């Protein structure tokens, strides 16, 4: 089994500082035996102090796992993988080079400000949280007949969590919520949410009959960045950051006191909180927090959801990556809602519509069935607390046949959004059919 105690002290001194990932490796393995899965799971639990982090956690035999580690422990990691019969495929030999290239490309953009020509907002590129908020405000200013912007509150560091409402004024309408960026490094979810906003408004203004009909029946509420502090931290300090930026939270061990920042916002909801798929180690990417709803971002969202639960018929939580359409419930194996057949049928329709756009094939199932259990999650809570009929999480591109991971090139932004919207639109169609 994986043992790290003998190499902790030596390796800890060699880890990259300041959020950089110079000479960090990222490799993919596909375990073919339960023993190999167990080895990877042990590395996931025990490898933090060596700088070993998983981009995609080990889950099942035949299901890929991606792990990142510094060059200083590469020989150790490769020997462990080899002993378990695992053949790593190198995704990135020096991760920082890829991050630097991405940052250079983004730096060439002209920042977008409220009131700018909307055509100057490059929908096929990555943007700061401020730019995205300015884009929402400008959309609402230019199209006040169908769009308005409001804040559900501020983040831990004081950033406005702005939501855009898109819909034609009317009574008795259903609500459909979409959020991105709950995990900071999952940038493709932010651009997908932003593209959907642009598409809904543009199609309506162009007179697209399906969109006009949809917006007369449904109000869309879209929050592109649920974790704005973490998102900005990935842009300015550590591209691979996942959590919020609250803290610090400290732990004591035989190696002394260590303090770390942030909570996994997708483990912080009061739905079977802190039971499965979480960590009590504040330095872990899956730290559930010191209590449920400890994170102000999650409290802000909770308050809005509960205040609007009577009209909220659909909720989508966007993630990346692996190309999965995730069903309820995430917290335990064998836990399903009473209407699981309806849920799966709807997901199947959505995944088919998604695949029809660019050929991307999604796997459908609950996290414990196709990945692993994880408690305190977003869409579990929304279903249980708000009674929302259609509550899903989607893991967007890339999938098992791509090796970009979290650093998806801009060329993937529009295709990802196009197919995702095609899938999500099927839920809106179903919502409208129930009203007719």
Q: Say how far apart CA 232 and CA 228 lie, in whole Å.
A: 6
Contact between 161 and 222 (Cβ < 8 Å): no
Closest CA to 197 of 249, 258, 259, 121: 121
Q: Establish whether 436 is a catalytic residue.
A: no
Catalytic residue among 232, 295, 395, 419: 395
Q: Say how far apart CA 406 and CA 403 lie, in whole Å.
A: 9
Contact between 43 and 67 (Cβ < 8 Å): yes
The contacts of residue 432 (CB under 8 Å, 6+ apart) are: 213, 214, 217, 218
Buried b (16+ CB within 10 A) or exposed e, 212-227: bebbebbbbbbbbbbb
Buried b (16+ CB within 10 A) or exposed e, 231-241: bbbbbeebbbb
Q: Say how far apart CA 304 and CA 188 lie, in whole Å.
A: 24
What letter does residue 196 receive in the DSSP assignment? H
What letter does residue 402 receive in the DSSP assignment? -
* Helix or strand (DSSP H, E) at 221: strand 218-223
Q: Say how far apart CA 287 and CA 294 lie, in whole Å.
A: 12
Q: How many residues would you count in the chain?
A: 436
Q: Is the omega angle on the peptide bond into residue 187 within 30 degrees of 0, that is, cis?
A: no
Closest CA to 21 of 128, 106, 100: 100
List the structure tokens of 225: 């960045």
Specify burial of residue 162 (Cβ count, 10 A radius: 0-12, 13-18, 19+): buried
The contacts of residue 276 (CB under 8 Å, 6+ apart) are: 331, 332, 373, 374, 375
The contacts of residue 268 (CB under 8 Å, 6+ apart) are: 288, 289, 292, 293, 294, 295, 298, 376
Closest CA to 298 of 395, 156, 188, 173: 156
Closest CA to 39 of 92, 76, 3, 70: 3
Query: What residues act catalytically?
Result: 395
């Amino acid at each position: 089994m994986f043992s790290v105690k003998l190499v902790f002290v030596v390796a800890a001194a060699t880890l990259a500082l300041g959020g950089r990932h110079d000479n960090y490796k990222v490799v993919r393995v596909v375990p073919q035996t339960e023993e190999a899965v167990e080895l990877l799971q042990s590395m996931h639990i025990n490898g933090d102090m060596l700088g070993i982090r998983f981009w995609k956690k080990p889950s099942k035999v035949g299901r890929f796992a991606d792990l990142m580690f510094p060059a200083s422990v590469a020989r150790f990691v490769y020997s462990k993988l080899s002993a378990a019969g695992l053949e790593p495929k190198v995704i990135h030999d020096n991760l920082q080079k890829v991050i630097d290239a991405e940052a250079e490309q983004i730096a060439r953009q002209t920042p977008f400000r409220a009131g700018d020509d909307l055509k100057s907002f490059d929908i096929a590129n990555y943007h700061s949280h401020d730019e995205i908020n300015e884009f929402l405000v400008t959309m609402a200013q230019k199209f006040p007949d169908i769009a308005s912007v409001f804040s559900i509150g501020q983040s831990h560091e004081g950033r406005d969590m702005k939501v855009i409402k898109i819909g034609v004024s009317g009574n008795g309408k259903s609500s459909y919520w979409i959020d991105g960026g709950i995990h900071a490094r999952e940038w493709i979810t932010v651009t997908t949410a932003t593209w959907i906003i642009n598409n809904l408004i543009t199609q309506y203004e162009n007179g697209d009959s399906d969109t006009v009909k949809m917006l007369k029946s449904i109000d869309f509420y879209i929050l592109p960045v649920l974790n704005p502090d973490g998102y900005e931290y990935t842009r300015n300090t550590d591209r691979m950051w996942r959590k919020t930026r609250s803290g610090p939270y400290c732990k004591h061990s035989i190696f002394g006191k260590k303090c770390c920042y942030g909570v996994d916002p997708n483990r912080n909801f009061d739905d079977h909180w802190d039971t499965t798929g979480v960590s009590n180690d504040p330095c872990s990417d899956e730290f559930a927090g010191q209590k449920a709803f400890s994170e102000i971002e999650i409290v802000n969202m909770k308050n809005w959801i509960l205040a609007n639960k009577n009209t909220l018929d659909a909720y989508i939580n966007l993630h990346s990556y692996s190309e999965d359409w995730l069903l309820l419930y995430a917290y335990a194996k064998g836990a399903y809602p009473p209407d699981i057949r309806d849920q799966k049928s709807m997901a199947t329709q959505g995944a088919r519509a998604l695949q029809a756009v660019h050929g991307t094939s999604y796997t459908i199932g609950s996290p414990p069935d196709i990945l692993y259990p994880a408690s305190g999650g977003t869409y579990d809570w929304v279903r249980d607390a708000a009674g929302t009929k259609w509550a899903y999480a989607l893991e967007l591109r890339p999938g098992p046949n791509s090796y970009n991971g979290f650093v998806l090139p801009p060329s993937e932004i529009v295709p990802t959004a196009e197919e995702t919207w095609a899938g999500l639109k099927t839920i809106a169609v179903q919502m409208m059919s129930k009203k007719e």
